[in-house]
Structure 1
Amino acid sequence: MKKKVYRVRTQYIFEGVFDVVAESKEDARQKVLQNCGLVMGGNIHSTLPDEEVNWTFSAHSEVRTGRITIQEEQIE
């Protein structure tokens, strides 16, 4: 039986909040964009001092699949 290789577009969506000490909404937004994130295989992190940031995120992501395309055929 021949099998095919399929490419499945996938999104893992982690939702949560960063509580950030900032001077304005834009300042808070910039601090999160520049200093906070998630590393695949790692943890949610921030380079801001602990007294300036706190976060709450669910450990379980929402998974969405999108377009599926055939990449190549394999001969078995």
Structure 2
Amino acid sequence: MKKRIYRVRTRYIFEGVFEVSAESREEARKKVIQDCGLVMGGNVHSTLPDEEINWAFSTHPEVRTGRITIQEKQTE
């Protein structure tokens, strides 16, 4: 029986909270957008000083799959 290659669209969703020291909601939002992030294979990180930021994120993402398509190329 020949195996087919399937392309499975997948989203990994990490959800959490950044606690940011700021003078307004907009400043807090900008700080998170500009100075905080997550890289696959890395950790949640921030360029803000420790006294201005704290976070709590799950290390296990929610996994969502979407459209599945068959590739033309087949393997045996």
Which TM-score applies when normalising by structure 2?
0.94
SS at match of 1:66: strand
Identity in percent: 78
Letter of the aligned partner of 2:15 in structure 1? E
Partner residue of 1:62? 62
RMSD: 0.9
SS at match of 1:19: strand
Written as runs of structure 1 = structure 2, the 5 A alignment for 1:43-58 is 43-58=43-58
Letter of the aligned partner of 1:60 in structure 2? H
SS at match of 1:34: helix
**Cα deviation, residue 9, structure 1:** 0.5
Tell me, in whole angstroms, the C-alpha distance in 2 between the residues paired with 1:75 and 1:63.
Answer: 27
SS at match of 2:66: strand
SS at match of 1:22: coil
Letter of the aligned partner of 2:70 in structure 1? I
Runs of 4+ aligned residues of structure 1 deviating over 2 Å after TM superposition are: none
Tell me, in whole angstroms, the C-alpha distance in 2 between the residues paired with 1:68 and 1:15.
Answer: 25
**Cα deviation, residue 51, structure 1:** 0.5
Gaps of 5+ in 2: none
- How many residues align? The count is 76
